[in-house]
Structure 1
Amino acid sequence: MKKIVNLFLVCLLAIGLAACSTASKSTDSKKQNTAEIPTKIDKPVTIEFWHAMTGGLEKTLQTMTQEFNDSQSNITVKLVNQGTYDDLNKKLMAAAKSHTSPVMAQAYEDWMQDYINNDLITDLTPYIQNKTVGWTDAELNDIVKVFREENTWNNKFYGVPFNKSTEILYYNTDMFKDNNLKAPTTWKELEKAAQTLTKGNVVGMGFENAIGLNFPTWVQQAGGQFVDSDKEKVTFDSAEGKKALTFLNDMVNNKKIARLAGEDNYMSDPFTRGDVGMYIGSSAGISFVGASAQGKINWATAPLPADKQASTQFQGTNLVTFDSAEDQQKLAAWEFMKFLSSKEQTIFWAKNTGYVPVRESALNDPEWKKHIEENPNYAAAEEQFDAGYYFPHLNGAFAMKSAYSTEIQAVLVGKKSVDQGIKDAAKNSQDALDKASK
C-alpha cells in the first residue's frame, strides 16, 4: 500500500445529520443555518483542488475530473498533486498563513478541526439546504451515517466524504490451506494462526509501521474506551488498554510471531513476497496488493478479528472548501463535491481504488453488488460498517494522535515496556488535549 496513511443529527439539525436519518428538516433549523449563496455560475470559473492521490488513484481522480469538466460550460477544476498526506497538510497550513489557500482540498477530520477553529473552511450547510443547488433530505441521508457524522460540527456540515477506507485482514490463502486454517475472527484465532504460520523465514502476522495510530481500535475491541470526548479526558490507560497493548507486544516481541513493516515501509511488500502469512492494512491497499501479488501468491481479505467486540476506524479524507475563495468559486467547488459524491461516481471510484462507496444507494446498487460478487476481496470493508467509528472531534486531536502513536510504537520496537509505554502515551495525549483547550 503506497501513500495511504492511515472514521451523527437530523432531529436537531436542519441538514439531516441526526441518528434518526429519516427525519425531515425543521423550519427553525432552516432559518438558523441558511445563508445567502449564489445559485448560478454566471461566468467561467477555474478552481484548484489540492490532493494527495498517487498512482492508479490519481489516474482515477483525473478521469473523474475530466468527465466533470467536460460536463460543465463555466466550471474548470484543476487538480494539483501535493505529494503525501503529510506534504498536503503542511502546504495547506502554509498557504493559510500566506493567504494563498486553494479553493478545495482533501482533509482529515483532525485537520478540519484546526481549520474550523481558525475560520478557514466553509460551512456547507447553506449549500446543502439550498432548494436550487442543494441536496434533498433523501440525498443527504443517503450518505453513510458514520460519514455524515464525521463531517458535522455543532450542527454544521463542513465536508463531503470522499476517499473512505478501513482496516481489513489480508491473508495468504495457500498458506492457510496448507495449514488447515480459516480466516481468524477473534484475537485468539489470530494469535493461533500467526503461531502456526511462523516457520522458517515466514513470520505469521504483519502490522504496518503506523500501527500506533490505530491503537484506539484495539482498545475498543478489548471492550475499553479510548477517550471521553465529552470531558476531553484520555481513558485508554486502563485494564483494556493494557490488554490490547500486551496482546500486540507479545506477538511482536515476546512470541516473535508478528513483525512490523520496518524498512519495507508498507506491509504489502513482504506479504506479496510471501514473507508473512497475513497482515492488517487499509482496504485502500487492495489495488496495490493485487498488482504486486500477481504471479507470486494467492490471497484473500476478511474483516478484522475482534476480542470482546468488533471495532474498526473508518479512515480517509473529506472534501473541504476554503473560506478565502470567492462566492462563485465556492459554488463551483460545491458542484464538484456533489459530482464526486454522487452514486455513479462513488461506485466508479470504489471499483477502481479499493475505497468504499460513501452512499447507501451505491452500496445497494446492482452494479456495486456485481462488482463485489466478482471481486470478493472488496467485501471485507463494507462488512464492517456496523462496527465502524470515526475519531472524536477534539481540539488537539492531531497532536494527540502523534503523542500516543509515538509511544505505542516505542513499545512495539522494544524501547519501552507495556506499562511505561501506555502511561507515557496517556500522559502525553492528555497534555496535547489540555494545551489545545487553553
Structure 2
Amino acid sequence: MKRIGKRSFTLLLLACMMIVSSACGSNGSPKVAETAAAADSGTAKDPVKVVWWHSMSGDLGKVADKLISDFNAAHPDIQVEGVFQGTYDESLNKLKASLGSDSGPAMIQVYEIGSRFMMDTKAIKPVQDFIDAEQYDISSLEPNIKNYYTFDDKLYSMPFNSSNPILYYNKDAFKAAGLDPENPPKTYEEVAAAAKKLTKDGITGASFAIYGWFMEQFFANQGAELLNNGNGRSSLSTASQVNSKAGVETLEWWKGMLNDKSLLNLGRKTDDTKIAFAAGQVAMTLDSTASLRGIVSASEGKFEVGTAFLPKPSNGGKGGVIIGGASLWLLGNKSEAEQKGAWEFMKYLAEPKTQAYWHVNTGYFPVTTKAYDEPIVKENLEKYPQFQTAVDQLHQTEPNLATQGAVMGVFPEARQITETAIEEVLNGQKSPQEALDKAAAEITSKIEIYNKTVK
C-alpha cells in the first residue's frame, strides 16, 4: 500500500473537516445553512394567502384590483386575492352559506346595514383586537365614519368605502327660473317652492328615486331615530319607528310635490333619476356622493351642476347624514397568519395615500382626514368643487344616535318594506300615516323573529 505523505494527509483531513462542518450546518456558509433551514421548514417561505370577498365591479373593481396589486408587490410575504362576489346582498348571502365551514374568505366587504348581522354571527374578529394589540392609531379616521362601525366603544370593522346623499341641482335651470344658483334650497319647504318655479319649458322641478336609504337619511337629518332602544345601539332594537312624525312629514312633502306636478316619479332605480337629471329633464335630484363625478361628466357641455346639503323640514331637529357604503370585516375561523395578513391589508387600505387614490378614482369619501393633505385630493377638489359640499356636510353632521345610524339584523328587508310604503303613498293607495304604520308593523315583526333567532 502506498503511504500518504504528510502534506497530503493534512489536506485530506482539512477536507473531511469541511464536509462534516457543512453537513452539521453550524459553522458552514450562510447559503448552506439557509438551504438546510428551508428544507426543514417546508413551506415556511410561501407567502400567506388572504382571500378578500368584495362587491366592487366595473370601474370600481379595476381600482380595487390596482390596490391589491400594489399591496402584493410591496408585501411579498402576503398575497391578497380579491374575489368579486356580486352585489352586497349576494355577497352576504354567500357568506351566510359558508358559515360553519372553512370555504369563506379571510376578510369581506359588507355594506353598512349588514353590521348587526355580522356581529350576531359570532364568526368575526373585531378589528379593535388588533388595534389594541399594537396600539394602532385610529385618531385620524373620520369621526362620523368611525362612529357608525363602533359598538360599545369597540370598532368592529375597518371603514373602507363611504358616501352620503346630497342634493344635485341644475344651476342653469335655476337662473332661468329666477332662482339664485349660489343659494340652493335647504329645507323641505324651500325645495317644494323651488320645484314649482323650476317646472316649466319641459323641465320638471325634481325627481327622487324611491330608495329606503333616502328615508333613513331624512330621519337622521332631523335628529330622529329610526328604531327604538337608541336606534338599536343602546340594546337590540325591538320596534321600528318609521311611522313617527319624521317619516310622515317626509312623505307628505314628497307626495305634495307629486300632486302639484313639480316632481316626477321614476320608480326605485337611482340610475333612472341620474339619466333624467343629466338629460335636463329634471332640475333637482338626490344621489350618493359617490355618483358625483359621473353626474358632472354626464352633464358636461349641457349645464352646470350644483350640489347642496340634504334638505330637512324647517322645524327639524339637529342631525346630519349617516354614512353609507361599506366596511371590511375579519373572519375569526382563519389561521392567525391569515388574520394578521388581512389586518396588514386593511391598514394599507386606510393609509392616507391609498385613501387619496381610492377617493379620487371612485368618488367615495377618504376614511382618514389625513388624505385631504394629499396633493391629488387637493387637485381633485379644484376640478370637482361640488365635492366640497359632501365634505362639509359630513363634517357638520351633529354626532348623536340618529346620525350614528340604526342597526338591526333585518335591515335589507326593512329597507324594501319602506320602499313599498313610499310607493303606496306616491301611487295614491295609502296616506303617509297608513302606509308607514303598516311598514312599521311589518318591520317590527321581522325584528322580533330575528331577535328570537339570535337569542
Query: CA offsets per residue over residues 365-393 of structure 1, 9 Å max, x none?
Result: 56534432332021111111232624223
Aligned to 2:209: 208
Question: Does structure 1 residue 338 correspond to structure 2 residue 339?
Answer: no
Question: Does structure 1 residue 262 correspond to structure 2 residue 267?
Answer: yes
- 2:240–2:444: 8 Å Cα contact kept in structure 1? yes
Summarize the Cα distance change of 1:174–1:315 in structure 2 as closer, same or farther, 3 Å threshold. same
- Counterparts of 2:52 and 2:303 in 1: how far apart (Å)? 38
2:124 corresponds to which of 121, 124, 134: 121
Summarize the Cα distance change of 1:263–1:358 in structure 2 as closer, same or farther, 3 Å threshold. closer
Aligned to 1:148: 146
Question: Does structure 1 residue 401 correspond to structure 2 residue 415?
Answer: yes
Q: How far did 1:329 drift?
A: 1.0
Which runs of 5 or more residues in structure 2 are unaligned? 1-43
Aligned to 1:434: 448
Query: CA offsets per residue over residues 173-221 of structure 1, 9 Å max, x none?
Result: 21112222232122222111111111243221111232x3321332344
- 2:48–2:341: 8 Å Cα contact kept in structure 1? yes
1:387 corresponds to which of 397, 400, 423: 397
Query: CA offsets per residue over residues 214-233 of structure 1, 9 Å max, x none?
Result: 21332344564432234634
Q: How far did 1:50 drift?
A: 1.4
2:290 corresponds to which of 264, 284, 291: 284
Aligned to 1:195: 196
Aligned partner letter, 2:391: E
Name the TM-score, length of structure 1 as normaliser. 0.82
Q: How far did 1:98 drift?
A: 5.3
Structure 1 segment 139-178 matched on structure 2, within 5 A = 139-178=137-176
The total of aligned residue pairs comes to 391
Aligned to 1:375: 384
CA RMSD in angstroms, aligned pairs only = 2.3
Query: CA offsets per residue over residues 21-80 of structure 1, 9 Å max, x none?
Result: xxxxxxxxxxxxxxxxxxxx9641122211111222222212222111111111111121
Query: CA offsets per residue over residues 327-372 of structure 1, 9 Å max, x none?
Result: 1111111011001111111111111111111112223556534432
Aligned to 1:103: 106
Q: Larger Rg: 1 or 2?
A: 2
1:51 corresponds to which of 51, 54, 59: 54
2:332 corresponds to which of 323, 348, 357: 323
- Counterparts of 2:340 and 2:45 in 1: how far apart (Å)? 11
Summarize the Cα distance change of 1:57–1:395 in structure 2 as closer, same or farther, 3 Å threshold. closer
For the residue of structure 2 that corresponds to 1:259, the secondary structure is coil
Aligned partner letter, 1:140: I
Aligned to 2:227: 227
For the residue of structure 1 that corresponds to 2:285, the secondary structure is strand
Compare the two structures and name the one with the higher helix fraction: 2
Q: How far did 1:432 drift?
A: 2.2
Summarize the Cα distance change of 1:76–1:89 in structure 2 as closer, same or farther, 3 Å threshold. same
Aligned to 1:70: 73
For the residue of structure 2 that corresponds to 1:279, the secondary structure is strand
For the residue of structure 1 that corresponds to 2:264, the secondary structure is strand
- 1:222–1:243: 8 Å Cα contact kept in structure 2? no
Which runs of 5 or more residues in structure 1 are unaligned? 1-40
Aligned partner letter, 2:185: P
